[in-house]
């Protein structure tokens, strides 16, 4: 108890990344050789090792997970107005990559047990206009993809697997991010492996690979025609400095995954008698939670609101983050009248209103986890 009180003045951020020795050596190499742009050797090395880790043929390193999604969707050559099914409960990037390309996003409500897009709702919403589905895994537990993958194959619907939060996770025995036509990852500082900012596109399809590579680099021409461009691309390149960090991080991936699960298990144990909360499953037949973040969903009969809990934790120097905001309620999409005003996504609303996550980054100590758990219990039981 005295130990816990000593932590009171120490701020516990929602995420602290962990940087290992190899990253520092790699970055030093970039600086000393002046290879700092996207042309350096670490970019190719990172693409090769990350695609191999995920059992994919090709990797394209980019500047963020958001960039990866935009490129992945554009690489599929869909037509304006084609429908793309996306989760209602996700980061806005999942919708932006569809909206920006003139495609029509169709929202899928979440599943109350896993907080992921509900596979049955996906099947219900598939129509003749559906040309792609973005499968986004949320917070550490994968989407149960079996039925979606089966139907999409039958109906020739393209699959983009957004595995931003799922590096190292498996669906049955296969890595998340190795399913579908193309998959995307984020290496933001709170992800399992980080490059500060960054992302990757993985695919087994050579045409998607070549198109993605071109889109990331402004669709430059080749040779004498370098400055002639035949499509609208982006400068979404990853620098050698970022990839140098990524290469080092990837060497430690087993250690990282082990620690993420330890963090999750420690919270689970500490909070097991807490009656006012729901937590994502630890284990189902198809996956074992990797706890990218440790999410808390307050039950409806909880005597304190989510915002009060967040405020009180912050008063105790514990930073948390509230859950995603439902896509249909995003101000910009309402202004653009992207979604039907009358459509309702009750589970996404509940998650968004009552959910938040605890500090779960690799830099957190066991003592800090115990302090956060203790404070949370105190607040919920008062």
Give the single-character DSSP code of 56: -
Single residue of 83, 109, 162, 181 touching ligand PLP by CB under 6 A: 162
Q: Is residue 214 within 8 Å of 80, Cβ to Cβ?
A: no
Dihedral in degrees, nearest 10, Cα atoms 217, 218, 222, 223: -90
Q: How far apart are CA 47 and CA 317, in angstroms?
A: 39
Q: Which residue, 216 or 375, is less far from ligand PLP as judged by CB? A: 216
Q: Rule CB under 6 A: which of 261-290 touch ligand PLP?
A: none
Cα 335 from Cα 332, distance rounded (Å): 5
Pick one of 23, 109, 111, 165: the residue that binds ligand PLP (CB under 6 A): 165
Question: Cα–Cα distance between 156 and 237 in angstroms, integer?
Answer: 31
The first and second tokens of residue 80, run together, are 């304006």
Name which of 321 and 374 has its Cβ closer to ligand PLP: 321
- State which of positions 58-77 bind ligand PLP (CB under 6 A): 64-66
CA–CA dist 326, 331 (Å, integer): 10
**136 scored as a contact of ligand PLP (CB under 6 A):** yes
Q: Is 195 in the site for ligand PLP (CB under 6 A)?
A: no
Residue number with the shortest CB distance to ligand PLP?
A: 65
Q: Among candidates 68, 45, 139, which has minimal Cα distance to 356? A: 139
Among residues 51, 54, 178, 186, the one that binds ligand PLP under rule CB under 6 A: 186
Could you tell me whether strands 283-284 and 294-298 are parallel, antiparallel, or unpaired per DSSP bridges?
A: unpaired
Number of residues engaging ligand PLP in binding (CB under 6 A)? 13
Interface with ligand PLP includes 40 (CB under 6 A)? no
- Interface region with ligand PLP, contact rule CB under 6 A, candidates 161-169, 208-216, 256-264, 305-313: 161-169
When the beta carbons of 183 and 186 are compared against ligand PLP, the nearer one is 186
DSSP letter (8 states) at residue 196: B
Does 242 interact with ligand PLP (rule: CB under 6 A)? Answer: no
* C-beta of residue 122 within 8 angstroms of C-beta of residue 108: yes
Q: How far is the CB of 366 from ligand PLP (least distance, A)?
A: 25
Cβ proximity to ligand PLP, 234 vs 316, nearer residue: 234
Please report, as residue ranges, which positions from 89 to 118 form the binding site for ligand PLP (by CB under 6 A): 90-91, 93
Whether the Cβ atoms of residue 247 and residue 22 lie closer than 8 Å to each other: yes
Q: Which residue number, 351 or 380, has a Cβ lying nearer to ligand PLP?
A: 351
Q: Interface with ligand PLP by CB under 6 A: which residues?
A: 64-66, 90-91, 93, 136, 162, 164-165, 186, 188, 199
């Amino acid at each position: 108890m005295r130990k816990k009180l000593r932590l009171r003045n120490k701020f516990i951020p929602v995420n602290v990344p962990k940087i290992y020795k190899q990253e520092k050596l790699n970055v030093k190499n970039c600086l000393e050789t002046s290879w700092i742009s996207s042309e350096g050797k670490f970019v190719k090395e990172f693409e090769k090792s990350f695609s191999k880790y995920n059992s994919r043929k090709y990797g394209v390193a980019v500047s963020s997970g958001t960039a990866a999604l935009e490129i992945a969707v554009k690489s599929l050559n869909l037509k304006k107005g084609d429908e793309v099914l996306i989760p209602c409960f996700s980061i806005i990037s999942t919708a932006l990559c569809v909206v920006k390309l003139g495609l029509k996003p169709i929202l899928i409500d979440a599943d109350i047990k896993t907080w992921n897009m509900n596979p049955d709702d996906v099947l219900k919403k598939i129509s003749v206009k559906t040309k792609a589905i973005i499968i986004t895994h949320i917070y550490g537990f994968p989407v149960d993809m079996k039925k979606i993958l089966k139907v999409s194959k039958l109906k020739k619907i393209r699959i983009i697997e957004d595995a931003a939060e799922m590096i190292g996770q498996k669906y049955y025995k296969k890595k998340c991010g190795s399913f579908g036509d193309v998959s995307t990852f984020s290496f933001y500082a709170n992800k399992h492996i980080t490059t500060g900012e960054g992302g990757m596109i993985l695919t087994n399809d050579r045409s998607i690979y070549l198109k993605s590579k071109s889109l990331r680099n402004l669709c430059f021409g080749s040779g004498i025609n370098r400055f002639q461009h035949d499509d609208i691309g982006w400068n979404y390149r990853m620098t050698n400095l970022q990839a140098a960090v990524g290469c080092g991080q990837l060497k430690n991936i087993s250690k990282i995954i082990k620690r993420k699960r330890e963090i999750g298990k420690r919270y689970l144990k500490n909070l097991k008698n807490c009656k006012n909360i729901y937590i994502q499953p630890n284990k189902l037949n198809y996956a074992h939670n990797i706890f990218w973040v440790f999410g808390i969903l307050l039950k409806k009969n909880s005597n304190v609101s989510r915002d009060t809990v967040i405020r009180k934790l912050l008063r105790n120097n514990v930073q948390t983050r509230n859950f995603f905001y439902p896509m249909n309620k995003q101000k910009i999409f309402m202004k653009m009248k992207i979604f039907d005003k009358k459509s309702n996504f009750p589970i996404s609303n509940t998650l968004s209103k009552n959910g938040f996550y605890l500090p779960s980054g690799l830099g957190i100590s066991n003592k800090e986890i115990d302090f956060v758990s203790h404070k949370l219990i105190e607040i919920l039981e008062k």
